[in-house]
Chain A
Amino acid sequence: MDIKEIVKEENLVYKKSMVLTDKEMHYCPGCTHGVVHKLIAEVIDEMGIQEKTIGVAPVGCAVFAYDYLHIDWQEAAHGRAPAVATGVKRLLPDKMVFSYQGDGDLAAIGTAETIHACNRGENIVMVFINNGIYGMTGGQMAPTTLKGMKASTCPFGREPQQDGNPLKITELLAQLPGTSYVTRHSCHTAAAVRKTKKALRKAFENQQQKKGTSLVEVVSTCSSGWKMTPAKANDWMVENMFPFYPLGDLKDE
């Protein structure tokens, strides 16, 4: 059969969201960032909030997130996205505001801003990509690097006496009265991707309902930083990351 006979409007089962730009993503093969970008774009699209949404990008691999979603963006300093998002939402309370951060950004350099934005219950969505490593700077240890896991600044594996312990920041944030929805997902299978999208949608709907802070963590792979093939990285994540960072809702009020 000729390709032209297949590519027809009535055969359409899926198309790229209009909220995604045509810019080719700079992410490595197997990286979770691109998938989550796509999900956020679809949620914005389906909710019809493109003209109202302002994204706050981090410093980290997602520093250029603004190249990929067709909305207004602010690019924050490393770790400061929750403070920047606070400023945006407080000044423009009718807009939809989300921050997007890696683990170093959200749980190391920006821990104070993260905890206090959540504790104030800023009415924003926080998207947290936890790949257990510093992707952008070349694979250094992150606050969420697992015990024994290798990184360029713990080349023999994270050893708590020397390097401290991995931080379950999401569990901590779920304790705070300002958070209304705290949930952990991943994107390693089609079913997991669908669940992550549902969670993101719920988080944005919470913001419409002025429920306070919604935080969606996505346990992610970093095949370059982990030095594995994308397929191997997925398996490694299931085996090693999920036991320490179990998937599911931590809080839903």
Chain B
Amino acid sequence: MKELKLMKGNEAIAEAAIRCGTDGYFGYPITPQSEIMETLMAQQPWNTTGMVVLQAESEVASINMVYGGAGCGKKVMTSSSSPGVSLMQEGLSYMAGCELPCVVVNVVRGGPGLGTIQPAQSDYFQSVKGGGHGDYKLITLAPASVQEMADFVELAFELAFKYRNPALILSDGVIGQMMEKVELQPQQPRMTEEELIEKYGSWATTGKTADRERNIITSVELASEEMEAFNYKLQAKYKAVEENEVRYENYMCDDAEYLLVAYGSSARICQKSVEIAREKGIKAGLLRPITLFPFPTKPIQDIAKHVKGILSVEMSAGQMVEDVKLAVNGSVSVEHFGRFGGIIPSPDEVVKALESNFIEG
């Protein structure tokens, strides 16, 4: 049965993880996302669905536990915040190299370094450009509400298994901590080994039975020609992701003369900014990327044809703005507005930035 609840974004992640039949969660505490593991531990899903939940000794350990579970073909996830996700980069590179599915949640806080526990969006580059070593990508989803925190867990698993690649839910301290109404899906049973094999093939290490070849999870390949061939395969996969999985939302873009591009909590703020701007007679619109990789390049190009300027609004010093610029390739002026280090911009500030960049003088 569906259930309506008031809860924090972090709690919604945990609830949704249990309900969509996640097999395992491994994590290490860090603010502002500790409620995810706390909620899981309080629910004791090992008694109900059989889901494994384990507090690891570090994020290095948790991502490698995820690697082990994912290599067995299971739906396994972890969550952390910025410094912890930095520690996971080696593991994520290995998982991309082994073509292992998993879900990672990053509830971003301000950096660099230990930084602040306040919200930020300054891990964009790390999320969508690979993050660790080697040519790979993470399928990256950016929730803008508590509802999307819940819904994206299952979506991320689906995409991760479909493409056999890690998927990242790139959230931030605002979405993680705020409380909203959320509709939770009914409990789904965890998939059996047979169902998993049926749906996704038998590549996982479940014990080599007589009826199949051995399954080996590895990313090492010393022959350069083989390694290049594998890299071509990965790139073809990322191209397929770009062709098939772009998700975004338009808000008042049809007649817009100025376009705001913002994801996650910035998009929530920008929605208000669009309304304020329109009250002032400025025809503003908002494009909210839901997937950051794949980036909604084409939709931005389409809108760019009829706007006078684009403002990328992020809680960072300007990261996504580079992808917006690449999308429009000089056809229209693109500027960045951001507050960072844990500061959340106000809708009015965004409107002011829109005016000062494109309208005044």
Contact = CB atoms under 8 A, between A and B. Distances in A.
B207 A84 contact: no
B206 A95 contact: yes
A133 to B, nearest CB: 21
A162 to B, nearest CB: 28
B218 A87 contact: no
Contacts of A87: 24, 26, 64-72, 76
A53 B220 CA distance: 22
A113 B64 contact: yes
B68 A56 contact: yes
B205 A86 contact: no
A79 to B, nearest CB: 9
Interface residues of B, number: 39
Interface string A72-88: 11111100100111111
Nearest to A87: B68
B188 interface: no
A85 B67 CA distance: 9
A71 B214 contact: yes
A112 interface: yes
Contacts of A80: 60-61, 64, 67, 91
Of listed A73, A80, A90, residue having the most chain B CB within 10 A: A90
Tell me whether chain A's interface is mostly helix, strand or loop, or mixed: helix
A53 B208 CA distance: 8
Given A74-B68, A112-B60, A113-B64, A91 B52 contact: yes
B216 interface: yes
A92 to B, nearest CB: 5
B216 A53 contact: no
Nearest to B210: A51
Contacts of B220: 63-64, 75
Contacts of B218: 57, 66, 73-75
A92 B91 CA distance: 21
Contact of A92 (B72, B209, B214, B216): B72
A232 interface: no
Nearest to A115: B57
25 contacts: A50-B208, A54-B205, A54-B206, A64-B220, A66-B218, A72-B205, A73-B214, A73-B215, A73-B216, A74-B71, A74-B216, A74-B217, A75-B216, A77-B90, A80-B60, A80-B67, A84-B71, A86-B54, A87-B26, A90-B52, A90-B68, A91-B52, A91-B69, A112-B58, A113-B61
Interface of A: 50-54, 56-57, 63-64, 66, 70-77, 80, 83-92, 95, 112-113, 116
6 cross-chain pairs, A with B, having the tightest CB-CB distances, nearest first: A87-B68, A83-B64, A75-B218, A87-B65, A72-B205, A84-B68
